[in-house]
Amino acid sequence: MAAQDPMPPLSTSSTTLPISGTTLSTSSIFNPDELFKNPVFAGGIGLAGLGAAAAAGRRGVIAGAQMLRRRLLVNVEISRRDPSYPWVLAWLSEPRAPGGFLAKRITRIHNLSVATATKSMNPSSSTGGSHNSPSNGLGNLGSDGPVQASFFLQPGYGRHIIQHRPGVFIAISREKQSTANMATGEPHETVTLTTLYAHRHVFEEIFSQAHALAAQAAEGKTPVYSVQGMGWGALGEPRTKRPLASVVLDRDVKEHIVADVRDFLHRHPWYVDRGIPYRRGYLLYGPPGSGKTSFIQALAGELDFGLAVVNLSEIGMTDDKLAMLLMKLPRRSILLLEDADAAFVNRRASRDPDGYSGPTVTFSGLLNALDGVAAGEERIAFLTTNHIDRLDPALIRPGRVDMMMRIGEATSYQAGQMWDRFYGDIDRDGSGRARFLQRLRDLRLIEDEDSKGHAGDGGTRRHTSTAAIQGLFLFNKNDKEGAIGMVEGLIPRQFEP
Ligand code: ADP
């Protein structure tokens, strides 16, 4: 048998490729041995292997660090939307160590930001009884006049480390997010506190300290909210509570309203059991300057509530905006809807055929906002108007307006009470008070005590406002004779000769 030819090599053709100064032979049939013998290829593989190992190592280290972090560290993230956000920042900015602002407590913060709190020193913004100007019951924040400012340093954006107690360090990371609050346009922010797992209990301590600090700062204050953008915003710094006694209303009026509100506040379970929205509405009407706004602000202070104010005649106030505002009422706040008659004026105003009357609140918009599905479940609302005749009886329904009260021109009872508040200490025998009241009666500015509501001599009543009397007393501080001498100045202009 003829010897068989050996099997022809499988590789028949081969090419040579120059690669980086060396040559690599490839054959049309893959030969791994050949490949690995090539130093460049083997080197490449080696490097790639090292790279992969390094990457895997890095991933391992990161995962390990993350695991360690998870096991050893605890994070608490607080969003700006959370009520505790300002408390925590205030807590962080609180000077602790004697002899140094932020000393000790903030051990490694190199990036601080400043928060400025301003307070108008204009007497109109002070809510203390006899210091108010007769312009507006809520004072005049933002008006000219000297401004008292205090500055607080807070951790700025970025990472910081503070020492809370000896041996307890907390890392703080304050960050701005890329999203923003739709209503105010302010970017969202978060503060993250990180500490060792073993020290996790300090967070409870920090939050209760921050809360106590906030409660202490808010004590004796009434936060006032106004419409900002599509939502609510604080109107300046919380104001010093106005004492109820500083608002002088006619006999028993104040007591009657206060008792009703207190009774309502005790009846929460009654409403819940019956599935009735827990709402109560009050309508205060009467001429301007009679103390309606001042009373509501004082009442909010008395009950430890805030005050959320919307002026219905405000430009740009629409039905939708009003509904949204009532849906998102700041917590524990009394709602004050000023100039309630604006909605009724708009109803009568000429409209387009499609019913559009411009960017204003309409009557149905007001009713919807007050009792529509979107309205908040819990609410105490006060509506005020100087023009009761413009309102619609449909407003007087449980939950919309449960109680109506006229806060009118000054009565002799109020004039006497106000005198006592201003001059009680220098008019001990009450003779000045008697002369003052007599002068008011002579000028027919107040009624005779026994002929309620009628002018003493049967002539036309002229009326004067409590705001005007307060203005007279403010002008004659500690000068009772001066006040009596100027009573004529209280005659309203239309009656002046
Ligand atoms: P209204 O809301 O009825 O227009 P305000 O409450 O705005 O009146 O009062 C305007 C100013 O007059 C405030 O500074 C307030 O202190 C003072 N004032 C008016 N009425 C009274 C009152 N009855 N008692 C105490 N202050 C009053």
- Confidence at residue 82, expressed as pLDDT on a 0 to 100 scale: 83
Domains of the chain: 74-211 (no CATH), 239-406 (3.40.50.300), 412-495 (no CATH)
| Average pLDDT of the segment spanning 72-97 | 81
| Average pLDDT of the segment spanning 205-218 | 87
Residue 249 CB–ligand 1 contact under 6 Å:
yes
Q: State the pLDDT confidence band at 103, using cuts at 50, 70 and 90.
A: very low
Residue range 340-354, pLDDT digits in tens:
888 777 554 444 455
Answer yes or no: are the C-beta atoms of 117 and 211 closer than 8 Å.
no
CA of 408 to the centre of ligand 1 (A): 11
Number of H helices, E strands in the chain: 14, 17
CA of 343 to the centre of ligand 1 (A): 24
Q: To the nearest 10°, the Cα dihedral for 211, 216, 219, 225?
A: -50
CA distance 79 to 85: 6
CB atoms within 10 A of CB 80: 17
Answer yes or no: are the C-beta atoms of 359 and 318 closer than 8 Å.
yes
CA of 292 to the centre of ligand 1 (A): 6
Residue 137 CB–ligand 1 contact under 6 Å:
yes
Residue 133 CB–ligand 1 contact under 6 Å:
yes
Q: State the pLDDT confidence band at 96, using cuts at 50, 70 and 90.
A: low
Pocket test for ligand 1, best of 294, 383, 421 (most atoms within 8 A of CB): 294
Q: How far is CA 276 from CA 168, 273, 358, 402, in A?
A: 51, 8, 34, 14
Residue range 430-479, pLDDT digits in tens:
999 999 999 999 998 988 765 554 444 445 667 899 999 999 999 999 89
Percent residues over pLDDT 70 in the chain: 73
CA distance 281 to 84: 30
- Confidence at residue 391, expressed as pLDDT on a 0 to 100 scale: 86
- Confidence at residue 305, expressed as pLDDT on a 0 to 100 scale: 93
Residue range 359-416, pLDDT digits in tens:
578 888 888 888 876 666 789 999 999 998 888 888 888 889 999 999 999 999 999 9
- Confidence at residue 455, expressed as pLDDT on a 0 to 100 scale: 44
- 178-182, 247-251, 259-263, 307-311: least confident range: 178-182
| Complex-level ipTM beyond the 0.90 threshold | yes
**pLDDT of 263 strictly over 90:** yes
- 85-89, 207-211, 248-252: least confident range: 85-89
